[in-house]
Structure 1
Amino acid sequence: MFYLIKNTQLWFTIIGVSLILLGAIISLYYYINQIRSDINRFILAVKTRDHTLNFKNKATRGSFPELYESFNDILQVHKQIRLEQEAMFELIKTILEQVPVGVIVMNNATEKQQEEIAFFNQAASNLLGVPAYKYWHRLKQHLPVFATEIEQILTGGKRFLELKIQDKLIQLSTEVIPLNLYGNNYTIVSFQNIKDEIEQKETEAWNRLIGVISHEILNSITPISSLSDTINKMVTDKKNLTEEEMDDLKTALQTIRRRSSGLLDFVKDYRLIAELPTPNLQSHTIGEILKHIKVLMQPFAKVKNVVLDVEQTSSKITIQLDLKLIEQVLINLITNSIYAVENRELPHINVNYRLENTKLYIDVNDNGKGIDANDLEKIFVPFYTTRKNGSGIGLTISRNIMKMHRGSIEVVSTPHEGTTFSLVFNYV
């Protein structure tokens, strides 16, 4: 075109070439515009998750078959991902509908007064005795006590609640978990009725305790009753007793006195468990505690020919506790270990401490006869003992003392190899 205009005067040719060039430019414009339109349609389909769009015709007859095939593949993959997500969502939803735990999920993106409930499963509806409300304020109107308690731990935490639902008292173990997903804030509230479990555990505990108490009382009452009946027969219709009868009477009365004294001691032990003093918490170093225990228990261990190693008595780690009560616990544990290593070759007891995460452990380890698996569940039951002449209250008192310190006692034992009792304290 440039050449014809500059070097010739072939005007008809110039006009014809100009028209062809103009037509090519217009055609190219519409062609590019169409591709741009297809790309926009593809992007819009991805954004709106529209999986009905396809480019099969253009993939077979268009100028860029690979491009349109890629469009189709991407849309199919996107569709597959969406279907998998929906299937997983339905699966999780079905599971949450079947579990016996109440679950409520709140969407905190809405206004405080109009917080939307994104999920409300059937168990939650049954436990609370309400329909599956769509908004939190509706649930709060129906159950103000429940809603108020939940709002106090919206930042996360656990709480034990007692509610009266339709004249029935329920005890709920409740947990609140805040969650942020894709910029949206959610609050997950889960709860379950533990009243039946608590009652079952209480019943089991009472049955075990009553069994032990009744056994101890019967052991004392039976000979007392029998001897009382014997004495009654001896003195009935008699004004004078022979020397032999007097000796029998004295023996019977002494036995009654001894068994009565044993029964009285048993009752005192029971009161001792129920009336432990409140701990007087003060700062003490672990080294100080271990040093005191070493001084207290070393003579007794030496008399029993037991090697007692108390390590790290110079430790400066400090913890809040009642020294007298914790010493009592350690004395109980070491005394039990001393009896456990009787008749063992090279009897040995080791007392040490360790730190793990936010817990501090004081370990009492022995190489004694160990504890059978069946007895591990019973050793903390009041008055249960496997030791001859044992009272059966030492471990019960020790566990109660640790609970009063917001701690616990853990035990690991292998029969015929040894046992480790651990005092567990919270240490931050």
Structure 2
Amino acid sequence: MIYKRFYFGIVLQVILISITPLLFFYVYSQEYMLVTTGSLVVLWVLQILYLLHYVNKTNHDLSRFFDAFQYQDSTLVFNEKRNDKAFKNLHQSFNQIIKAFGKVKIEKEKDFIFFQHTLELVGIGLLAFDRKGNVKLCNSAFKELFLVNDFTNISELSCIDNEFPDFLQRTKSGKQKLRNYLVKNRILKLAVKATSFKLEEKELKVVAFQDIKNAIDKGEMDAMHKLIRVFTHEIMNSVSPISMLSGSLIDIYEKNSENSHEDLLDEGVISNTLMGLKTIRKRSKGLIAFVDEYKNLTHLPKPHFELISVDKLLMQIQTLFAEEFKAENIQFEYHVNDKGQELIADEKLITQVLINLVRNSIDALKTSDEKTLSISTGEANPVNFIIIRDNGAGIPEEVIDNVFTPFFTTKEAGSGIGLNLSRQIMRLHSGTIAVRSKPNRLTEFTLQF
């Protein structure tokens, strides 16, 4: 409707401008109408000027309107109280668009402020820069981590490390790296991860820095405390009876020190002494075995990686435990997606892990009525995971977080090193071992390669 009115106004004026010369020539041919001829010339000039003004007025309004968008000015207001309906309606439309643009701008600013405050609250240092190293974003966590002030280019970060700017440029997307930095007598252990993307034809890179030193230190302290508690418990269990028994033997001879040597050679005294010494030797051997188990736990051989047939590996496990499965009435089965599936691993070490887990399952199934044990693999080739399942007693929720702790065990005759040894072997394979359990229903150990 707006453009029709404007179009109609232009067409009307063009028609009038076209008719005026015709009237001029007609009047000019009449000698008695000279005054009218002059009036028509003036009228014609005025019509042209008005048309130019009319068009320029529209161009001027359009120019103001587009400038407002270019400079993101949402305060511009066009006059809607005009007699010319074409301009009145046009100005109303301009004002509505500018108002809508203003709302979008406000929402954008609100999102930006929210984004800024969120970045400042994040405890991970974030740095974004373009291909030339110009900084586009840097949050407070990054500045506090590296103790730097405001900077505009990553080249200024050579104060942290001479190779730091080059490292930022070389860091590839997706892959996490661990880096150590010494910043003003502070050692930073950082997990570094980057991502690259394009924004309006500009290549940008965002690098995240997470200080994992505290987490590592806390984990090491927790592990050390658990290990000390286990060591204290095991050593006290052996040393206390040895101390008490040796004290009893000393008392026997001190009380009889005034008697003759013949009395000390009494059969009862000799028998008690021998029994006490045998017990001391037995507990001493147990303590030595405990220390040897710890040595085995901390001195694992370097894995020799090769392609292993998963079907043959699991068949060996089945053959190894066949008699025990039969004696315990355990229904065992293994499943591979493809007979040709292979695993990249050290066969001896992975076999040891499977033996440990199957042995634990057999012990857990002793109290079950229908005993089932299964081993299955993932669909990938080489195999990406192996799952060992049983429906035994399971692991109580209150102790499941401790099952991989060295020397922690819920079994009376257990050493507590099997699962921790399995986890260390999986780490040597750059993999993990995880457990989930629903007591008396399902226990599942997953080896992720």
Letter in 2 for 1:420: E
Q: Match for 1:219 among 224, 229, 237?
A: 237
1:365 correspondence with 2:400: no
Match of 1:89 in 2: 112
- C-alpha distance in 2 between matches for 1:8 and 1:119: 76
The RMSD of aligned alpha carbons is 2.6
C-alpha distance after superposition, 1:105-142 (max 9, x if no partner): 2233xx4xxx3222333222222122222222122145
C-alpha distance after superposition, 1:270-291 (max 9, x if no partner): 1111111111110123222222
| SS of the residue 1:373 aligns to | coil
Contact map agreement 2:376 2:386 (CA 8 A) in 1: yes
Q: TM-score, normalising length from structure 2?
A: 0.86
- C-alpha distance in 2 between matches for 1:33 and 1:403: 77
Contact map agreement 2:128 2:135 (CA 8 A) in 1: yes
Letter in 1 for 2:297: I
Q: CA deviation at 1:358?
A: 10
Match of 2:216 in 1: 198
**Matched positions, count:** 420
Match of 1:186 in 2: 204
Change (3 A) 1:222 1:143: same
Q: CA deviation at 1:254?
A: 1.3
- C-alpha distance in 1 between matches for 2:82 and 2:111: 33
- C-alpha distance in 1 between matches for 2:83 and 2:239: 101
For structure 2, the residue ranges without an aligned partner over 5 or more in a row are 1-18
Identify the range of structure 1 (312-321 vs 74-83) with the bigger mean alpha-carbon deviation: 312-321
Contact map agreement 2:337 2:378 (CA 8 A) in 1: no
- C-alpha distance in 1 between matches for 2:182 and 2:165: 14
- C-alpha distance in 2 between matches for 1:164 and 1:59: 71
Q: CA deviation at 1:144?
A: 2.2
Match of 1:140 in 2: 158
Identify the range of structure 1 (15-24 vs 155-164) with the bigger mean alpha-carbon deviation: 15-24
Contact map agreement 1:117 1:135 (CA 8 A) in 2: yes
Contact map agreement 2:342 2:382 (CA 8 A) in 1: no
1:416 correspondence with 2:440: yes
Mapping of 1:227-266 within 5 angstroms? Answer: 227-236=245-254, 237=257, 239=261, 240-266=264-290
- C-alpha distance in 1 between matches for 2:274 and 2:402: 39
Letter in 1 for 2:231: I
Q: Match for 1:158 among 157, 161, 176?
A: 176
Mapping of 1:259-298 within 5 angstroms? Answer: 259-298=283-322
| SS of the residue 1:377 aligns to | helix
Identify the range of structure 1 (160-169 vs 243-252) with the bigger mean alpha-carbon deviation: 160-169
Letter in 2 for 1:226: M
1:327 correspondence with 2:355: no
Contact map agreement 2:367 2:393 (CA 8 A) in 1: no
Q: CA deviation at 1:6?
A: 8.2
- C-alpha distance in 1 between matches for 2:382 and 2:43: 84
Contact map agreement 1:146 1:163 (CA 8 A) in 2: no
Change (3 A) 1:330 1:358: closer
Letter in 2 for 1:244: G
Change (3 A) 1:210 1:375: same
| SS of the residue 2:61 aligns to | helix
Using the aligned pairs only, state the percent identity. Answer: 30
| SS of the residue 1:372 aligns to | coil
Q: Match for 1:50 among 73, 92, 98?
A: 73
Larger Rg: 2
Letter in 1 for 2:418: G
Contact map agreement 2:79 2:88 (CA 8 A) in 1: no
Identify the range of structure 1 (229-238 vs 217-226) with the bigger mean alpha-carbon deviation: 229-238
Change (3 A) 1:59 1:175: farther
Change (3 A) 1:8 1:31: closer
- C-alpha distance in 2 between matches for 1:191 and 1:291: 46
